[in-house]
Amino acid sequence: MKRFLTIIILTLIPVALLAQEFTTDSLSISNSVDSTLVGKDVLSIIKTSGTSRVNQSAAMASALSRYISANAASSKAGYRIRVFYDSQQSARGVSDAIAKSISNDYPDIRVYRTFDNPNFKVTVGDFRTKDEAIKVFTELKAIYPGAFLIRDNINYPVL
């Protein structure tokens, strides 16, 4: 019985390899990267493309929404961009104006305006990695030359 199974397996392996070569040869595979997709989230691409559809069960969608709501109040280590930090008398109005300006220019990025006696602070974003933060940081640095990256506890990402 063992010999019989061994013979069958040994004869099927070359057949499987030939079938794999046939399918690989008939397809043209490109190793180039689409530059429009670099730095984007797969789910955001699917949502905005309009041509793709994700079929998932109601149980899976329910589990995902429960997971997000359960972790909404939690925070994790990440990066933010500090664009304003001042304690002058006009700091309250300036910080408010900067926060509103960034919210209008970047509606998809969260802006946090805080008061840590005696300083008003405006911090931007919830970036999980330093690379994500640097992409936005380079844009903001041109507008706010005093901007700098900080490690902070960020809010749980929302889909």
Low pLDDT (below 70) residues in the chain: 4-5, 10, 12-52, 54, 156-159
Residue 17 maps to a domain:
no
Q: Report the predicted TM-score, pTM, of the whole model to 2 decimal places.
A: 0.57
Residue 143, CA atoms < 13 Å, CB-side half-sphere: 13
Tokens of 114: 């805080």
Residue 80 maps to a domain:
yes
Residue 106 maps to a domain:
yes
86, 54 Cβ separation under 8 angstroms: no
Residue 44 maps to a domain:
no
Residue range(s) defining the domain that contains residue 96: 76-154
Residues 6 or more apart in contact with residue 126 via CB below 8 angstroms = 78, 80, 110, 154, 155, 157
C-alpha–C-alpha distance, residues 94 and 56, integer Å:
47
In this prediction, residue 22 carries a pLDDT of 46
The structural domain count of the chain equals 1
Tokens of 28: 């043209």
In this prediction, residue 14 carries a pLDDT of 60
Residue 93 maps to a domain:
yes
Residue range 56-95, pLDDT digits in tens: 788 888 887 888 777 777 778 899 999 999 999 899 999 9
Which among 41, 48, 45 is positioned nearest to 132, based on CA atoms?
41
Residue 37 maps to a domain:
no
Q: How many C-beta atoms lie closer than 10 Å to residue 88's C-beta? A: 10
Residue 130 sits in a domain whose CATH number is 3.30.70.1070
In this prediction, residue 27 carries a pLDDT of 45
Residue 61 maps to a domain:
no
Residue 33 maps to a domain:
no
Residues 6 or more apart in contact with residue 121 via CB below 8 angstroms = 82, 84, 85, 95, 112, 113, 114, 115
